Amino acid sequence: MSSTILFTTPPIATTNRSSLPPPSLAAATTTTKRHHPLPPDTLTLLIDKSKSVSQLLQIHASLIRHSLDQHPILNFKLQRSYSSLGLLNYSVLLFNRTHNPSVYFYTAIIHSHAVNSLHEQALEFYIQMLTHGVEPNEFTLSAVLKSCPLTPGQALHSQAVKFGFDSNTYVRTALLDVYARGGDVLSAQQLFDTMPEKSLVSLTAMITCYAKHGNVDSARLLFDGMVERDVVCWNVMIHGYTQHGRPNEALVLFRKMLTVKVKPNEVTLLSVLSACGQLGALESGKWVHSYIENNRIQVNVHLGTALIDMYSKCGSLDDARLVFDQIKDKDVVAWNSMIAGYAMHGFGQDALQLFNNMSPMRLHPTDITFIGILSACANAGLISEGWSFFHSMKDEYGIEPKIEHYGCMVNLLSRAGHLEEAYELVKKMKIDPDPVIWGTLLGACRLYGNIALGEEIVEFLVSQNLANSGTYILLSNIYAAAGNWDGVARVRSMMIDNGVQKEPGCSSIEVNNKVHEFLAGDLKHPKSNEIYMMLEEINGWLKAYGYTPQMDTVLQDIGHSEKQRSLEVHSEKLAIAFGLISTQPETTIKIVKNLRVLQFAFTSPIHPMYMGGEFQEI
DNA sequence: ATAGGGTTAG
């Protein structure tokens, strides 16, 4: 940065009319009609009211013409306006032409850089200030701490203590934020706990810190103890739930926010839409969409992308496309969401067509684009296209494939039965394969009855200590599919020996805008009794339809009592039963299981689509 | 005479 050099250049004399204004200012000067200086407070007002660059330039020119270009407040105001219009370089120029800038001006220029994440320059101005003997104050410290990284932040912390500003609420909050963003939760917490006065903002900063680092419950505890809450802290709390796989709690909190009449803004809606998508909660998602329309909130590219994502995850591709077509100035993120939406529901051709329309729009695909494209190829069984995209990623677009891209390719090859080729690719990878990749391969081994490869992979995983419950279950399923009951028994004893537990499945259903979640064998729902009565009824219907339950071979614990076994009910059965007792007959019931959307239309007492623990999608 | 500066979400 040249600011240091500029600053130490001998100041230009106030009366020196030949001092050149910034380049494009010369033109503006000629259009200035006023020849008599306005009083400073009128000019102050004029600057504040200026909304365009040209207006500002005219005023600036006028200041120079009337030798007011060293006026501290006018320059300060001008600087603010330049910065807020994004003309940071004009701000710096103005600053550098101002003799002996005051602590106010320093603070403002530091702040202007800090809000634009130019913390290095902000820090440079701060150091300049110290070397020029201008004393910082609380305002300066909080400005320079904004978006400051941990290492310089710690040094500034010492400065704050030295100057005695560290107990000031603003400085303390900014410091807390520095440690929070740097991942030092304990220091942040200590600063918070010893804070003389906890403001709404400092509480929000601490909640943000907890939420960001996964401690959502601590965040909630603080949140619940607040005496006043603004939209920001509601947003932080809702977003915390959304980001940490607790979308239902996000929606519950959102409804609470509405009942206490805090007006949601765009940030709120982005989190809420994400939660709806995670839950497959189409009713709620549509409600949010109409809320946006009813409140005349502009569907900008961010909201639009969130809507596309929500509709795609809820299975409403047509609605997603409608939103997509309506977004002006679509960025690559919006395109990526739409491509991923098509890919996730098997509309491979639509995804590829969208991809082909990107370059005419001068948009460059990103690594995320290729995740969409490769999974689209996988879903559509386009093997050679998949390979060609995989190669062009690096060769044509310079994007290095990540683990997810390998995962897509393994999925693509495995599904098509090219198991050896998939395994070769995994062995050739420069990155360590993740559990998803192994799961894909093992799943394909079951599907194609390739016991030998399945065993080889599991042996490898066990030897590398990479096996988890899913690994064993998949291997057992491979044996079971081939009728190899010895194998099944062997896996079961391996699981018992290694203390492996099955991870519970989780299903959810949305009824009257509320999402109800169920784990396998769940008894926690308030309507549990009715649900289990309904289940009994369903079992009766199933028997009448000639259905015999398929025993889950691995997970059946022989020692279990009959009563307990009856409680081991698949989570989706519970969600279905609840759906049946809470909706009108003939209603389409949509269940989301482990993030997959399943939809059923029940016509007769029980629809034959339901086939014991496995549902077929309509 | 007085005027002007700061912290939390995305």
Q: Could you tell me the residue ranges of all domains in chain A? A: 402-497, 506-615
Unique residue bearing structure tokens 């909660």? A281
* Protein-proximal positions, strand B, CB < 7 A: 2-10
Nearest nucleotide, C1' to the C-alpha of A104? B5
Nearest nucleotide, C1' to the C-alpha of A181? B8
Using the C1' atom of nucleotide B4, identify the protein residue whose alpha carbon is closest: A73
Are A98 and A75 in contact by the 8 Å Cβ rule? The answer is yes
Round to a whole number and report the distance in Å from the CA of A208 to the C1' of B8.
Answer: 8
Looking at residue A594, its pLDDT comes to: 59
Pairing type for strands A588-593 and A506-511 reads: antiparallel
d(CA A94, CA A75): 7
Unique residue bearing structure tokens 């007792």? A581
Q: State the helix-helix crossing angle for A403-415 and A383-395, rounded to 10 degrees.
A: 160
Looking at residue A548, its pLDDT comes to: 60
Unique residue bearing structure tokens 């941990």? A150
d(CA A560, CA A280): 35
Round to a whole number and report the distance in Å from the CA of A569 to the C1' of B9.
Answer: 41
Closest listed residue to residue A335, CA positions, set A315, A360, A316: A360
Looking at residue A612, its pLDDT comes to: 38
Unique residue bearing structure tokens 């926010």? A257
Closest listed residue to residue A57, CA positions, set A27, A13, A93, A102: A27
Nearest nucleotide, C1' to the C-alpha of A180? B8
Main-chain dihedrals φ then ψ at residue A599, nearest 5 degrees: -130, 135
d(CA A466, CA A476): 17
Cross-sheet strand order for the sheet of A514-519: A514-519, A506-511, A588-593, A596-601
Looking at residue A35, its pLDDT comes to: 57
Round to a whole number and report the distance in Å from the CA of A305 to the C1' of B4.
Answer: 40
Nearest nucleotide, C1' to the C-alpha of A302? B10
pLDDT averages per 10-residue partition of chain A, 618 residues: 31 34 44 59 81 85 85 88 90 92 94 94 95 95 95 95 94 97 96 94 97 97 97 98 97 97 97 98 97 96 98 97 96 97 94 95 95 93 94 94 94 93 92 88 90 90 83 83 85 80 72 79 82 79 68 41 51 80 75 57 40 36
Looking at residue A144, its pLDDT comes to: 96
Using the C1' atom of nucleotide B5, identify the protein residue whose alpha carbon is closest: A104
Round to a whole number and report the distance in Å from the CA of A62 to the C1' of B2.
Answer: 23
Using the C1' atom of nucleotide B2, identify the protein residue whose alpha carbon is closest: A41
Helix (H) / strand (E) element for A325: namely: helix A317-326
Round to a whole number and report the distance in Å from the CA of A399 to the C1' of B8.
Answer: 36
Round to a whole number and report the distance in Å from the CA of A121 to the C1' of B3.
Answer: 28
Question: Could you please report the per-residue DSSP string of A518-560?
Answer: EETT---STTHHHHHHHHHHHHHHHHHTT--PPP-TTT--TT-
Main-chain dihedrals φ then ψ at residue A506, nearest 5 degrees: -135, 125
CA A236 to chain CA centroid, Å, is 12
Looking at residue A120, its pLDDT comes to: 94
Helix (H) / strand (E) element for A517: namely: strand A514-519
Are A565 and A599 in contact by the 8 Å Cβ rule? The answer is no
Tell me, what DSSP letter sits at residue A592?
Answer: E
Looking at residue A9, its pLDDT comes to: 29
